[in-house]
Chains A and B, each alone.
Chain A
Amino acid sequence: MAQIPDEEYLCKTTTACAGCPSSLCLRYVTKAAGHDTVFVIPACCSSVIQGVFPTTAFNFPVYNVAFASAAAVASGMSEAFREMGKETNVICYAGDGGTVDIGIQALSGALERGTDFLYICYDNEAYSNTGMQRSGSTPLGARTTTTPAGKPDFKKDIDAIVAAHNPVYQATACVSYPQDLFNKVQKALTIPGPKFMHVLAPCPPGWRFGSDETIEMGRRAVKSGMWVLWERANGEFAVTGASKAAMKKRIPVAEYIAGQGRFSTITEEQIKELQQQVDMAMEKFQKEMDGIC
């Protein structure tokens, strides 16, 4: 197990909400990436939690860019660094809206072109920065300010879409399991080419749970199978960490949902649909691990 460095890149002056999972995620991402790293951040919670000019809570180079443009900006940045003979890491750090919705075209292009960068989507399952509107990543039945009666559609499977681009490294993680997250970022950055990570970020004000419950919500997501920790590198797929146990035995999806105010209007039928989706996804993962297509 790799030692997580003591050095902090995120200063205490951050203006993040109490219990913020995105800043927690970024804390471990920066520790894993180290000094020679530039972050490209599109409009998202992480553009706001840096604080207000002329101060910044981020002690690393950050380029804040237009919502739809992160992966394309990273593309140009990476090519320029490589042309200069520099190995500088280029990391896009984007929310789910900037990834699965408005930023998907630039992401697809950058992946397809073999851009040497790491794209990290921290997924709080809505446009949290603007006060919790629905995104393509919002799960079925979740209330947002633009789905006041609960979302009638399923969460977009961005991992399958990214996988279709055959990136050199792809993984999921969850802020409740920082060692797993740290290891994956560190591993990804050793491989040249396009890398993608999808990190679950349970958001207290958005999901409507207490700010001291962020870690617990992430754990329940993994224990229920609503979120699965895995990685795919060099064609090898592996379920990692706590998800190994969840492959065999899980808590019911209903238990994950019960602690979150955003699911207050979810129907029994929708809970069943989510449970079915989890069970099917687990079977699919098991097959991939067993080498059955």
Chain B
Amino acid sequence: MLTVGTGNKAIASAVRDAKPAVVAAYPITPQTEIVEEIANYVSTGALKSRYIPVESEHSSMAACLGAAATGVRTFTATSSHGLVYMCEMLHMVAGARLPIVMANANRSIGPGWNINAEHTDSLSMRDTGWLQCYVASAQEAYDTTLMAFRIAEHNDVLLPVMVNLDGFLLTHSIQPLRTVEVGDFLPPISLPHAIDMDNPGGYGTLTTGDVHFKFRWDMERAMRDSVHVIEETQKAFAEAFGREYGMTEDYRTEDAEVIIIALGTMGKEMEVAVDQLRDEGVKAGSMRIRWLRPFPVLDLAGRDVVVIDRDYSFGYGGIVAGEIRAKTGTEVFSVIAGIGGQEVTYNDIATFVRDRRPGGELWFGVEDS
């Protein structure tokens, strides 16, 4: 059905259509509309589910953990301070191999208070064992959330999935949105290690140094296996509903001599910059990383690379730039731009490319960087 909605509304619509049995959530700007919409769906009966209005984000993830442990589908959403507050539970959920899906509205972390887009919140949760996807439109937010349940619940994966969308730039942008009849695309959840009263077991008991690493290796194996599950799911989604997604979204990259890389909405903005640069005769292309965990295979050999990070790891560098350097061995020009909602236009992005200094770092708007 064709409708219009914000990025938040798109996520809530996908949750309504995925029919989780339990949603536990705590409101935070700019995620609030997601939980309001879901509470409303539950209240009106559009979604038959238990909505638990918890007292904190730590508890929203804890309540999802408790619900998921019984073998039911669960969802929550958060942002920024809420995400870092639930950090401990992110580790617990991934380690317990519970396929919870969460939307995170990417937002700065204080001080000072800033409610605008930044990726440092979710990137600082990189190592918790969650799959992470970054979306760039309301449609993609809807589609990816539906796919996230299927991927998380696949028995080769059984890891939680975080769907990230830029605060305000996407959470509050009204865009066309086509919802689907989910049907068989999302099979009922079947958790092999759900609590079984007839076969009582201890979950998360004490482990020693000769077994603990094996649980961690199992998580890594699942993370690696998730690549084929993501690809299969995206293929099945395209077949069922006609919209195609990859690990990355590549734009005019085939003959590109310089490639721009970013996450989220900036990754869309840079396509306009690519067109502009092409008009000037610069062979530019862009790669918007959708799945950051598992990290995609990127073909960057022999090209200049400009990475725009809406985030930073103090004392190290742009987080995505660092990952690309480490994973591909490619030297990059690292641009730090858009933090806390700083405005970055396609003209600015084109300038980053024209003025690129391979191996260098630029803090956009900081004169002595």
- List residues of chain A with CB under 8 Å of any chain B CB: 35-36, 38, 40, 47-48, 50-54, 56, 58-66, 68-69, 71-84, 88, 105-106, 108-109, 112-113
Determine which of A50, A83, A106, A113 lies in contact with B62 in the assembled complex, contact meaning CB atoms within 8 Å.
Answer: A106
- Chosen A-B contacts, 23 in total, with CB atoms closer than 8 Å, are A40-B66, A47-B206, A53-B208, A62-B200, A63-B69, A63-B203, A65-B204, A72-B62, A75-B24, A76-B24, A76-B63, A76-B64, A77-B69, A79-B67, A80-B68, A80-B74, A84-B21, A84-B72, A88-B197, A105-B59, A109-B55, A109-B56, A112-B55
Task: Indicate if the CB atoms of B62 and A69 lie closer than 8 Å.
Answer: yes
Residue of B59, B62, B68, B197 with most chain A CB atoms under a 10 A cut-off: B62
The count of residues in chain B whose C-beta lies closer than 8 Å to any C-beta of chain A is 41
Residue of B nearest to A15 (CB): B206
Q: Please list the 4 inter-chain residue pairs (A to B) with the smallest Cβ-Cβ separation, ordered nearest first.
A: A76-B66, A109-B55, A76-B63, A72-B59
User: What residues on B are CB-neighbors of A105 within 8 Å?
Assistant: 55-56, 58-59
* Assembled-state Cα–Cα distance A72/B74 (Å): 14
Task: Indicate if the CB atoms of B202 and A76 lie closer than 8 Å.
Answer: no
Task: Indicate if the CB atoms of B72 and A72 lie closer than 8 Å.
Answer: no
* Assembled-state Cα–Cα distance A73/B53 (Å): 13
Residue of B49, B66, B88, B201 with most chain A CB atoms under a 10 A cut-off: B66
Task: Indicate if the CB atoms of B22 and A72 lie closer than 8 Å.
Answer: no
- List residues of chain B with CB under 8 Å of any chain A CB: 21-22, 24, 49-50, 52-56, 58-60, 62-72, 74, 88-89, 92, 195-197, 200-208, 211
B39–chain A nearest beta-carbon distance, Å: 14
* Assembled-state Cα–Cα distance A40/B96 (Å): 14
B135–chain A nearest beta-carbon distance, Å: 26
Task: Indicate if the CB atoms of A66 and B202 lie closer than 8 Å.
Answer: no
B21–chain A nearest beta-carbon distance, Å: 5
Contacts A71-B59, A80-B66, A105-B58 aside, 8 further interface pairs with beta carbons under 8 A come to: A61-B196, A63-B195, A66-B92, A68-B88, A73-B63, A73-B65, A75-B59, A77-B67
User: What residues on B are CB-neighbors of A47 within 8 Å?
Assistant: 205-206
* Assembled-state Cα–Cα distance A40/B201 (Å): 12
Task: Indicate if the CB atoms of A38 and B195 lie closer than 8 Å.
Answer: yes
Task: Indicate if the CB atoms of A109 and B202 lie closer than 8 Å.
Answer: no
Task: Indicate if the CB atoms of A62 and B205 lie closer than 8 Å.
Answer: yes
Residue of B nearest to A82 (CB): B50
Residue of A nearest to B207 (CB): A53
User: What residues on A are CB-neighbors of B54 within 8 Å?
Assistant: 72, 75, 109, 113
Determine which of B50, B64, B200, B208 lies in contact with A52 in the assembled complex, contact meaning CB atoms within 8 Å.
Answer: B208
User: What residues on A are CB-neighbors of B205 within 8 Å?
Assistant: 47, 50-53, 56, 62, 64
User: What residues on A are CB-neighbors of B201 within 8 Å?
Assistant: 56, 61-62
* Assembled-state Cα–Cα distance A143/B196 (Å): 43
User: What residues on A are CB-neighbors of B208 within 8 Å?
Assistant: 52-53
Task: Indicate if the CB atoms of A74 and B55 lie closer than 8 Å.
Answer: no
* Assembled-state Cα–Cα distance A88/B197 (Å): 9
Q: A40-B66, A66-B92, A69-B65 are in contact. Are A75 and B52 (CB under 8 A)?
A: yes
Task: Indicate if the CB atoms of B22 and A61 lie closer than 8 Å.
Answer: no
Task: Indicate if the CB atoms of A106 and B59 lie closer than 8 Å.
Answer: yes
Task: Indicate if the CB atoms of A77 and B58 lie closer than 8 Å.
Answer: no
Task: Indicate if the CB atoms of A62 and B63 lie closer than 8 Å.
Answer: no
Residue of A48, A81, A108 with most chain B CB atoms under a 10 A cut-off: A81
B306–chain A nearest beta-carbon distance, Å: 41
A4–chain B nearest beta-carbon distance, Å: 20
User: What residues on B are CB-neighbors of A73 within 8 Å?
Assistant: 62-63, 65-66, 69
Task: Indicate if the CB atoms of A59 and B200 lie closer than 8 Å.
Answer: yes
* Assembled-state Cα–Cα distance A106/B74 (Å): 19
Determine which of B53, B195, B206 lies in contact with A61 in the assembled complex, contact meaning CB atoms within 8 Å.
Answer: B195
Residue of A nearest to B215 (CB): A53
Q: A83-B21, A108-B55 are in contact. Are A72 and B63 (CB under 8 A)?
A: yes
